[in-house]
Chain A
Amino acid sequence: MSGPLRIVNPGETEKTVAAEQEVVLHLDDVAVSYNGRLAIREATFDVTGGSIMALIGPSGCGKSSLLQSINRMTDLIPGARVDGQLHLGGLDVLAPETDVTALRRRVGMIFQKPNPFPTSIRSNLAMPLHEHGVRDRDQVDAAIQGALEEVGLWKEVLDRLDSPAQALSGGQQQRLCIARALVLRPEVILLDEPCSALDPIASGVVEDLVASLRGHFTVVIVTHNLAQARRIADDVVVLWACGGAGCMAEAGPAKQIFEDPQDPITQDYVNGYRG
C-alpha cells in the first residue's frame, strides 16, 4: 500500500508544521505478530502533538494490537512480538532497554470495557500517583480533584470519593478510568473503542470528553464507529484486512479521508459499501 505519510493540515507549509506541531508519535513499518502469526503489518504514520488520530477499520485487522504496541502492553501477551520503528518523541519505544514503567507514565490507555479497580474512587486515582512517587496528601488531593473536573465527574462524586468505584454507572466508570489515566499527566492517551460497551447516552458523554482532550493531550483512538471518527478525529488511518493480517489502506486528514478518499477500499468502507 502507500508509503510513509506526513500528516499535514491543508494550507500549511512544512516549515510551520515543524514549528507549531511536532510529531509526537512516529510509527514506521510496525508489525505485530502472535506466535508467528501476523496480526498487522507495515503500519506507518505520524501523530502530531495535540491532535486526535483515529484508527478505523473492520474488526480483525489489528487495530487493538497496533494500539497496544504503543505502550508495550503487548509485552504482557506471551508470544507477542512487535517489529519496526516506534518512537515517542525522542524515545525508541521498542528498544529492550527502554523503561516500560516510565513509558506507561507518558502514555495512558483506556480500555473498551471500563475497568476501575475494586476499591474506592479516591483510591483508584491515588494509586497511580503513589506508585509514581507523588505521596504528599495535598498534592494527591489536588491532582484527584483536577482529573475528576477534567472528565466532568467532580460535581457528581465529590461527596462520595470513598465509596466503591464499581458502584458507578458504566459511563461514569469509563470517565473515571479516563481520569485515572489523566491524573498522571501523560503526553499521549490511547483509547481502544472506549464507547462500544456503553449505552448511547453515556457513549455521547464520553465521546464529548475525548473530543475535549484535543490540544491538551495527543490522542489515538481506535473505533469501528465511522460516524464517531468523522465527528472527533483530526487525522485518520484506515486499516483493512489483507490476506489474513491487517494493513494500512490509507492515511490522511479526516476531512480528506471521509470526503475525498483516494484508495478504492477506503472509498467503499467509508461509504458503507464494505466492512
Chain B
Amino acid sequence: MRWIWIDRFTEFESGKKAVSIKNLSMAEDVFAEHFPGYPVMPAPLLLEGLAQTGGILVGEANQFREKVVLAKIPRARFHREVFAGEQLTLTAEILTLREEGALVAGRIHSEDELIVEAEIFFAHLDQARSGAIFGDRNFVFSGELKNLVGLAKAAAKPA
C-alpha cells in the first residue's frame, strides 16, 4: 500500500532537524473527492507528512533500531488551506529524544508562508513486547518509507 506523504528530503541533520518537500499534484487520488473542483489538501495528510518527516528523523537518530510510531499530537494549527499545484516545505526539529520516545516541532511552509505548526509526539514501541506481537522485523521502516530513508541520507551528504 502506498502511503508516502513527502517527496524528498532537502536537509537532514541527524538527531536534530530534517526538511522535506511535498508537491501537491492534481493527479493525486485524494483530490478526486476532496473536493471536486476545489482540490484542498486534507489537514490530516499534512500532519502525516510532518509525522513521516519527523518519524524518519527520530528513527535515524537510533539507527532505525526502534519502532517509531506516532503517539500524540498535542498541538496543531492550520493557517490556511493548501491546494493542488503548491509545493510544501516540511520542517521537523527534535525537541526531546529519550529512550521511550521523542517530541518533535513541525512546521509546513508554502514558499515563505507559514501554513501549519504542530507538535508531534512519537513513542518507541517497547522492544520486548512489540517483538513478541509483531516479530523482529521493524515494520515501521520498511518498503517505501525505507526508500525515502535512503534519499534522506543522500540529502545529508555535503554537496
Q: Are A and B part of the same complex?
A: no
